Chain A
């Protein structure tokens, strides 16, 4: 296999493996974070919106430095979406095209996309989730293909179980494949599909004309210092390289290269009948840029203005203000975010919607927010406790965010930082409304934040949430039997605040021989009232 193809295939395989394995191993999740950290589109969004380049984007800076030396090698050898674009192109025959496609002049589009990304971020709308190639790929693999694979694995295990039981293969017999479910799969797949559908408009259409990361790399690769396409005197001007270049970066003089467009895929070198094209450092003559997109000053100025204007308009109409599902409206505290999330609007402006936090979540409670946080933040994570609670000892999602939208938490911190605060709807709660000793919320609460209290009008002790202890882990909401709406729901109230010296991280709940540790009731010790759960 050719080195370029080998590198590309290896990169796609490693990227997919890291994202898929992130669901089982945090080491893979952290490695996937470094991979996603190579994405310059994310850097542009966070830098433009928050004037910050997070440590997670050090890989991107390294890749940009290498781009100065060796051009857009990332696009041809590293980018997993680029690999998929190549696969699509070869399947649908776009690679073999000889005639210049009509879209040859649209290469400026990617700068416009980049401008819109930067401008909308400055105006308060994060679009990298829809535009960054690595985010698009991470979602395709992590949120669409991985769940499908798990379904297939589950079907296999179920089919194999009777046989495994008969053969005494207990490891297979007790293997439980937990299905993964995220929602918004159609949109995740759709965005990737749009990127790949560019095949109808010519080879590498996405990379050539739309990709904002490609645009950043192009700006850094106007004249690569070390490795770039060089043509020696042997060239016979057969035009084969010009016709076969997927990026349309050569020509019309085959000796001339538009290095900002060249992704160093080296196809020109391969198709050259006289081996006149090389990419090695040194040797050969340096050529000027080719024809095509004219970077005239007027064009650039118009482009910048248009990008800024569309960024402002998009930010005005796609932002979360005014949108929101019933749950948000009911709670009135905003959208639940993963533990350790940057409070306020900073979270939405940092998140690039890669979905890695969702993939690593062992209880599958992190999901795309969809309409909850507005169309622009559709792929930002929210917390849905229907599939499980937020395990108080787990810090996975905080370890894998490349953008710093979720700050890393130590296990000790995790137990004290609020995701939100649970609230009880006393009109539907079984203990409050039906005087039945349900109290599942108290049973499952890992921080002792559900307190049982004797209320004058209630026959039994009823649950009350202690806001100073509750960290919003959602055990109560997950286990609450009330339907369709659970009677105890975690709201984003107090998200990001710290529970000091209490709960899991600190001392035991105070107990004074009373009911559920609540003091001040003189009737309790030795009196008529029995401890919780006991009866006459």
Chain B
């Protein structure tokens, strides 16, 4: 089954890919109007014309985890367009759980290693791979730490002491006005989100936006004191990665985030500068609980799009697809 074909089909069915599906004139006009209105309303028309350059808005690469991650970033212009020499880089994979690679609950170590390698090639000043793990860190970060060892013995950390966090205001927060965030993240020049693609019982999916909760000290407060989806978007206004690489080499399509659930071995890596678009594309690209669902069914993606954090109209975005064999 070619998942990408299914995405195309879904996009086509929704009339967003231009010319593929037959539409009545009235329907066509209505949709054009809606699109224009939504763009005007949300102020989302991109300032940089990605279409003019050869850099796509989204890159989708199928292949082995490491090479696919590398190619996905190369398609966006290479790591050099994100990381400059001497900069402090924080990479945020999902390493919150202690499952193995086949459980699909954590980011593939080879994807993380490839990204660390690319940052290292760009002569980043300091590279850190950080997460606030749900399980005891020593049981969670081992595989990724081993994978990254060639680039320094001390770059992967599960920070479970409050000493490593600092209160930060969220000026654009609607519900969540502040949070204790990892100092290293607040001080970093570049933040790269590398989530694994998985379902989530309370937020539908856990991708790059939900993953930012792994950079704060007290995340349960977002579950009960605040509106979870709204506060995820609040947090993402503060913690907005410059590059998102979604590891869909394995997709935990049911019983996320902790599993055990149905794992789709999709061998896919999705990258974008826009966290909302990357998440939205991933939602649309895979079946969740055996069902095809459009991105707007995920409330935090919907809210983020409405608040102008990024785009979820993936049908309108330029997607560059490559298959490595």
Binding site for B on A (CB under 8 A): 158, 161, 170-171, 174, 176-178, 362-363, 388-389, 391, 393, 430, 436-440, 442-446, 448, 452, 479, 481-482, 504, 508-509, 511, 513-517, 525-526, 530-536
Contact = CB atoms under 8 A, between A and B. Distances in A.
A311 B297 CA distance: 69
B87 interface: no
Contact of A530 (B98, B224, B293): B293
Contacts of B299: 535
Contacts of B257: 443
B161 A448 contact: no
Contact of A176 (B134, B161, B201, B221): B161
Given A362-B136, A444-B134, A481-B221, A439 B255 contact: no
Which of A437, A442, A514 has the most B CB atoms < 10 Å from its CB? A437
B154 interface: yes
30 contacts: A174-B164, A176-B159, A176-B161, A176-B163, A362-B136, A363-B136, A391-B135, A436-B224, A437-B202, A437-B203, A438-B223, A439-B202, A439-B223, A443-B257, A448-B258, A448-B260, A481-B220, A481-B224, A508-B262, A509-B260, A511-B261, A511-B289, A511-B290, A525-B290, A530-B291, A531-B204, A531-B254, A532-B199, A532-B201, A535-B204
B204 A511 contact: no
B224 A532 contact: no
A27 B126 CA distance: 36
B154 to A, nearest CB: 4
Contacts of A437: 202-203, 223, 228
B16 interface: no
B36 to A, nearest CB: 24
B220 A536 contact: no
A446 B205 CA distance: 18
Contacts of B288: 531, 534
Interface string B203-222: 11100000000000000110
B201 A516 contact: yes
Given A176-B160, A393-B139, A533-B205, A514 B289 contact: yes
Nearest to B205: A533
Given A443-B258, A531-B291, A174 B220 contact: no
B289 A482 contact: no
Contacts of B290: 511, 513, 525
A525 B154 CA distance: 47
Interface in B214-250: 220-221, 223-225, 227-228
A449 to B, nearest CB: 11
Contact of B202 (A443, A514, A526): A443
B157 interface: yes
Nearest to B152: A170
A527 B284 CA distance: 18
Contacts of A363: 136
Which of A393, A482, A511 has the most B CB atoms < 10 Å from its CB? A511
A14 to B, nearest CB: 26
Nearest to A507: B260
A508 B104 CA distance: 13
B96 to A, nearest CB: 9
Given A446-B135, A481-B223, 19 more contacts: A174-B159, A174-B164, A176-B161, A178-B161, A362-B136, A389-B135, A430-B224, A437-B228, A439-B201, A442-B201, A448-B260, A479-B220, A508-B255, A509-B255, A511-B262, A513-B289, A530-B293, A531-B291, A534-B293
A533 B199 contact: yes
A517 B259 CA distance: 11
B88 interface: no
A177 B161 CA distance: 8
A455 to B, nearest CB: 16
Nearest to A173: B154
B261 A482 contact: no
A438 B202 contact: yes
Nearest to A446: B258
A534 B298 CA distance: 5
B200 interface: yes
Given A479-B220, A525-B290, A531-B204, A508 B154 contact: no
A388 B227 CA distance: 25
A472 to B, nearest CB: 16
Nearest to B262: A511
A504 B100 CA distance: 12
B163 A530 contact: no
Contacts of B203: 437, 533
A1 B207 CA distance: 65
Contact of A509 (B135, B154, B261): B261
A285 B254 CA distance: 83
Given A443-B258, A517-B255, A533-B200, A391 B136 contact: yes
Nearest to A514: B289
Interface string B17-56: 0000000000000000000000000000000000000000
Contacts of A158: 163
Contacts of A170: 154
A481 B219 CA distance: 10
B259 to A, nearest CB: 7
Contacts of B205: 533
Contacts of B227: 436
Contacts of B201: 439, 442-443, 452, 516, 532-533
Nearest to A450: B201
Nearest to B221: A481
Which of B98, B223, B289, B293 has the most A CB atoms < 10 Å from its CB? B289
A174 B312 CA distance: 38
A511 B255 contact: yes
Contacts of B293: 530-531, 534
Which of B97, B160, B200, B227 has the most A CB atoms < 10 Å from its CB? B200
Contacts of B161: 176-178
Contacts of B259: 448, 508
Interface string B244-277: 0000000000110111111000000000000000
Contacts of A174: 154, 157, 159, 164
Nearest to A512: B290
Contacts of B204: 531-535
A486 to B, nearest CB: 11
